[in-house]
Amino acid sequence: MRVHRTEAILSGSDASGDGRLLIDGLPFDCGEHVDVIIISSRQTAEEETALHGSVRRYDDPFEPAAPLNEWEAA
């Protein structure tokens, strides 16, 4: 499997667009089957603030998950 990553900006005269995207210069042969995945790089306001304010404080972020006396040496 060969992977090629590229970025493109959708063009159009209005926000509705025409649903087309043209990408030139791809390193694949004519007639070759490829998978296409489109991911928007713009986050919605909800995604940007999803974790905002969710953590109040960490008293000791490196503290073990269990007390040290409960750990057994092999």
> Which one, of 46, 41, 56, lies nearest residue 6 by Cα?
41
* Most distant pair of Cα atoms in the chain: their distance: 68
Residues 19-72 have pLDDT tens digits of 778 888 899 999 999 998 888 877 777 777 777 777 777 788 888 878 888 877
Q: Find tokens 């926000």 and name the residue.
A: 15
CB 4 within 8 A of CB 27: yes
Give the integer Cα–Cα distance in Å for 68 and 62: 13
Q: What SS3 state is found at 47?
A: helix
Determine the pLDDT at residue 29.
92
